[in-house]
Amino acid sequence: MRRLTVQVEHFALANRFVISRGAKTEAIVVVATIAADGGIGRGECVPYARYGETVESVVTQIETIRAAIEAGAGRAQLQKLLPPGAARNALDCALWDLDAKRLAVPAFRSAGLPAPGPVTTAFTLSLGTPEDMARAAAAQAWPVLKLKLAGAGDEARLAAVRAAAPSASLIVDANEAWSPRDLAGNLAACARYGVALVEQPLPAGADAALAEIDHLVPICADESLHDRRDLAGLRGRYDAVNVKLDKAGGLTEALALLDAAEQLGFTIMIGCMVATSLAMAPALLLAARATYVDLDGPLLLAHDRPDGLLYEGATLYPPSASLWG
């Protein structure tokens, strides 16, 4: 018989983190722990208000299927028991970890993936004034920088960051803050400053204009993508997709989503919410298949978990078995 434990944990951020929708000073995560046969598996998720999730709603979702999980429901059953989202992600990753511990078989091997190696991750610059973002860019000296943008004033932010980090590869993330009216001008500005990728410029569900405009810079779907069912509607509008386990509902769906996205010709980005290394570790298994890796969540925290991932500058190393998988 399995035993499921659900905990809500708080991690202070190193600095206030701002995007177009608001600001936060802590990461609030939900951790599912499943114990069975001497093994313990953990999975972490981030409830996200943008998708109608709260800590309470995610915990409630998990509790509604406690009996099924403790009775032995596996990952395939979980796909049917819960919709895509944070709750399913925590449980799915906990089941992957539990199997790795019980069977002494690494999760990457069970998933049919190569052993993960070191990868280069982007570092995210919080939304701010051009001067503040330029100072942050200069202080990081990161090979790949991701800029949070907000619409008004974005060209000035781009110019300042590019001057401060002339050799960095730049990704910009508008988090749905642009409008069809300013889309062409903003994309032209991105092209002028050598931006490599633009994430979710228009609101999900109101992005038809992306099919009618030249993509001077490749455009990546984030809020417009959750699981495989969304992919067909993204063709012609987006060039890339940002796969996040909290959106997809776990590693199981993310693997299938990657396969389907690659078959349709989308460039792949692996992303994250602001969370600890426990949430990054499963996503790291997918990084070898991604053109862009954005798994810097723990770097935004004041303190990560004691057994967290190793970051050496922009280089991110695979997790230890004590952390996950």
pLDDT digits (tens, 9 = 90+) for 215-249: 999 999 999 999 999 999 999 999 999 999 999 99
Q: Tally Cβ neighbours within 10 Å of residue 243.
A: 27
CATH assignment of 119-316?
A: 3.20.20.120
Model confidence band, residue 320 (pLDDT cutoffs 50, 70, 90):
very high
Q: Which of 101, 146, 148, 247 is catalytic?
A: 148
Determine whether 80 is an active site residue: no
What is the rounded distance in angstroms from the CA atom of residue 235 to the CA atom of residue 261?
10
**pTM for the full model?**
0.95
Q: How far is CA 102 from the centre of its chain?
A: 28
* Element spanning 17, H or E: strand 3-19
- Averaged pLDDT, 84-93: 98
CA angle 80, 259, 171 (to 5 degrees): 110
Rounded to whole angstroms, the Cα distance separating 293 from 123 reads 10
What span, in angstroms and rounded, lies between the C-alpha atoms of 132 and 113? 41
Q: Token pair of 10, please? A: 């708080």
Domain residue spans of the chain: 3-110, 119-316
Taking alpha carbons only, the member of 217, 156, 148, 210 closest to residue 179 is 210
CB under 8 Å to 178, separation ≥6 — which residues?
Answer: 151, 186, 201, 202
Return the ∠ at Cα 31 (arms to 77 and 324), rounded to 5°: 80
* Structure tokens that stand for 243 in this block: 């796969």
Q: Report helix angle 86-103 to 55-64, nearest 10.
A: 50
Tokens for 119?
A: 């990868």
288 DSSP 8-state letter: G
The per-residue pLDDT for range 243-279, each reduced to its tens digit, is 999 999 999 999 999 999 999 999 999 999 999 999 9
Task: Return the pLDDT at 252.
Answer: 98
pLDDT category of residue 1 using cuts at 50, 70 and 90? confident
What is the distance, to the nearest Å, from the Cα of residue 241 to the centroid of all Cα atoms in its chain? Answer: 11
- What CATH architecture is 3-110? 2-Layer Sandwich (3.30)
Judge whether 101 counts as a catalytic residue. no
- Exposure string over 200-216, b if 16+ CB within 10 A, otherwise e: bbbebeebebbeeeeeb
131-166, pLDDT tens digit by residue? 999 999 999 889 999 999 998 999 999 999 999 999
**Measured distance CA(271)–CA(1) in Å, rounded:** 34
Summarised one tens digit per residue, pLDDT across range 14-60 is: 999 878 787 899 999 999 999 998 899 999 999 999 999 999 999 99
Catalytic hit among 101, 146, 244, 247: 244
Cβ 128 vs Cβ 136: under 8 Å: yes
* Residue 4, pLDDT score: 98
pLDDT score for 202? 97
- Looking at residue 190, its pLDDT comes to 98
